[in-house]
Structures are given as C-alpha cells and as structure tokens.
Amino acid sequence: MTKFADLNLSPKVLKAIDEAGYETPTPIQAGAIPHALEGRDVLGIAQTGTGKTASFTLPMITMLARGRARARMPRSLVLCPTRELAAQVAENFDTYAKHVKLTKALLIGGVSFKEQEALIDKGVDVLIATPGRLLDHFERGKLILSDVKVMVVDEADRMLDMGFIPDIERIFGLTPFTRQTLFFSATMAAEIERITNTFLSNPARIEVARQATASETIEQSVVMIKATRRDRADSEKRAVLRAVIDGEGERLTNAIIFCNRKVDVDIVAKSLKKYGYDAAPIHGDLDQSQRTRTLDGFRNGELKILVASDVAARGLDVPSVSHVINFDVPGHAEDYVHRIGRTGRAGREGKAVTLCNTRDEKNLEDVEHLIQKEIPLAENPIQQEAAPEAETQEEAPKKSSRSRSRSKKPDQPQKQENKAPEAPKPAAEPVKSEEPSKPRDKSRDSRDRDRGGKRDNVVGMGDHMPSFIAMSFEDRRAG
C-alpha cells in the first residue's frame, strides 16, 4: 500500500502530514502528486470528498519551498468557485505548510480590498482567489500574473455551473504559457473538456472513480410527498422535514439541509427555529462575516443543523456530518452528488434523505440516471401516520411502483367506468317537448315556407339555436 513517504514530498511536508494524523494517501492523491512533482499538467477527476485539495496543496508546498515571491507577483494561483472552498484551501495550506516559510493571500468577496492589497504588496507565494475578486484586483492594477509558476483550477464543473468559465479563460490568458496547470473536477462536461484541451499541455489524467458517483458509504433514500392542497404544499413539506429529523433521533448528530433557492433557505431555517430546532441559514446573500460565524459554529459543534444553498455544497469540509437532507431535488443532477458528498467522508458512514414532490419527479429521474442507481423509497412519516386503514389498499401500488405519485394513473379508467352509467341522464328528448321551444319552431316553419317548403336547417347548431343566428347564415347564402 502506498504511503505519503513514498511520494517524494519534502521532509517538512511529511512532518506536517504526520502531525495531522494522516499516513495513507487517497487514490486521487496517490495518482496526482507524483505527476505534479514532475512538473506535468494534471487533470484530476474524482468525486467530492476524496481528498482533491491535498492532492495539489502538498506538491505545491514542496515545489514552492525554494524561491521567493516579489511584490504584486504571486508565484502560484489557486482558483475556487466559492468563498467557502477558497477558505478551505487556505486552511489546508496553513496545515501542511506550518514548517515551510511560505506566504499566502486569500482574495474573496466580503473582505476589504485594502487588507488584501496590503498582503499582495508584500509578495505572496500562494494566491487563493475566486475569479471575480481576482479580476477586480487585476483591473485595479494591483496584481501582476506574469510570474505564476503553478496554476490550479479547483471544482471546474462548479465554475461552469456558476458562469465563471469566461473569467477562467481570461485568467489563463493572463498567466505565462509555461505555467504548470493542475485541473480538478468531479465531472467532465463538454465545455470542461474543451478548456482542458485548450489550456493543458499533455496532462496526466487521473480518474479514480466513475464520473458523478456517490460514495458507497452513504445510505440514500427518497421520501415522496403529495400535498393535500396546493396552497399547503410548502408547509406540509416542512412538516415532513421535521418528521424526518425527529425520526432519525440520536443518529442525527448534525445535518446539512439543502434548498434550491435562497429564499427557501431563510424560510426553512426560520421554520425550524420556530419549532425549537437548532438551525441557521447560509447562502450567498448573507454578509461574509455572518457566513463565517455560522460555518465555524457548525464545524465546532455549536450548531446542529445548517440550512444551505448550493454555495455550501462544495467547499464545506466537516468530516463528521451525519446527515444530508435535500429539501428540494436539485435542478442539476450533478449537484446531488456534491450535496450528499458532505456526509460519508473519509470512509465514514453517512445518510442522505431527499424530499420529492410531484413537480420534482423529473429532476429525480435525472439524478438516478446520472448516478446509474435507483434511490430506495422511504416511508413518508406524516402520510403514513395520517392515512386511514381504508386507504391502505389504494396506497399499496404507489409504494411498489417506480412512477411514485404517478402510480395513481391506473385508477383513472375505473373512475370513468363508474361515471359511464350516469351519462344518459340529461336526455335530449324532454328538452324538445318543453313549452319554451314552441315559438322557435313556429319562426322556423315560417322561414321554411318562404323558401318553398324546404327545410334547410343549419347543421350542428342544435335545436335550441336562437333564430338570429340562422338569419345570419341565410343572408350569407342568399348573397
């Protein structure tokens, strides 16, 4: 079995790794580190939670140990899609570079430009940034990228989802052609493939798992929800969420609840707090200091439930998250893998529960197609308790059918058959014999005599048609 000592890392880096308690590299680390140390471009494809961050920080620290940075000219650059992921990378550098004299700067939104500029002016060996804030500093004339020796793009597929690909291409153009590029992604969309073919030179491709697969240590399930009324759908869904949390009991030590929209993050967090749950929201519209406090509280165990948007689906490194609950099925199937990857990390067991209502079934099918696995159905804890015994037989086909809520379609012909005998009730004959129809008949007869006794009724209009409509047709025929 490969150990870190076999990867030609510097003794100071190995000492930091040993102090951190690690001995055996993950597959992505064992595959990427040797190629990175040789100076080759690396294309790493691995699911989230497999140790991609250390697979580029460790060789970078070893390579950057020699040399010195100049003012405003960083020697290496790490691009991350979110502030949280950038902060996690910075923490990794602090952990593994403790015995090496390297300087770093973190360029993310929500932090004063002046503080960041002061660090850049001193010269940094490692610059960790989100694309937008990096370009802001460059356009201000505070940053020069012509001395970048190593460039890392982390979570490239997330960059694509967030619309950062044009910025990434521009940043590639600002760095030297001779740079070494380490490119990491969980999936390889066509656009990502194009960028790697354009900007990477004969990369070593390290793919340690099938694209977009979930860890086998994660127990997955889906709870189907059918609202009793449309205006109660959201409140009933939140009630199911609370029932799922209660049902897990002590097994749920902490949890991340993911919502598709920022407004739902706030609503769900507020609802949970109202019912006595220890929960707090985190999404992109919150102030950076508040986001940092919330994340720190969740990492330290002071906060039990974190309600998040996809801003935290990647970059939140909390090894011991016991549960992930998808309040919404993600619109992009790839996000499902990254969400549930927050649990079951580093070989630990985890549980992922997804709440799915009728309108989200198509998204659920996309997820199952992506992961090439059918997610097991779990009982709806509220509908199961509230359902009367008489409905047990009606619910049985729904549990066994993979069409979930659509399984009620076979019952529709039965309803039509029951209604079929009632169709003849509104008979047409009695209507013709009613008194109000006589004046219309006389008017019709007089018009027939004027035409020579021939009846030329307008077809398809019915016996109770007002006479003025027939007159209009007659005038048109006469013309």
Helices (H), 202-283: 233-248, 262-274
Is the pLDDT score of 438 beyond 60?
no
Is the pLDDT score of 212 beyond 50?
yes
The Cα–Cα gap between 19 and 23 comes to 10
For 156-201, how does the pLDDT look when each residue is reduced to its tens digit (9 = 90+)? 888 887 889 999 999 999 999 999 999 998 778 888 999 999 999 9
Is the pLDDT score of 135 beyond 50?
yes
Phi then psi dihedrals of residue 184, to 5 deg:
-125, 140
End-to-end CA distance of the chain: 98
The Cα–Cα gap between 241 and 307 comes to 12
The Cα–Cα gap between 259 and 203 comes to 37
The Cα–Cα gap between 161 and 157 comes to 6
Is the pLDDT score of 436 beyond 60?
no
Binning pLDDT at 50, 70 and 90, where does residue 467 land?
A: low
Phi then psi dihedrals of residue 266, to 5 deg:
-65, -45
Burial 280-305 (b: 16+ CB within 10 A, else e): bbbbbebeeeebbbbbeebbeeebbb
Delineate the domains of the chain, giving CATH numbers in brackets: 4-207 (3.40.50.300), 218-412 (3.40.50.300), 431-478 (no CATH)
Q: List the one residue out of 72, 208, 90 whose CA is nearest residue 147.
A: 72
- State pTM to two decimals: 0.65
Task: Please tell me the predicted confidence (pLDDT) of residue 160.
Answer: 84
Is the pLDDT score of 443 beyond 80?
no
The Cα–Cα gap between 237 and 326 comes to 12
Task: Please tell me the predicted confidence (pLDDT) of residue 318.
Answer: 76
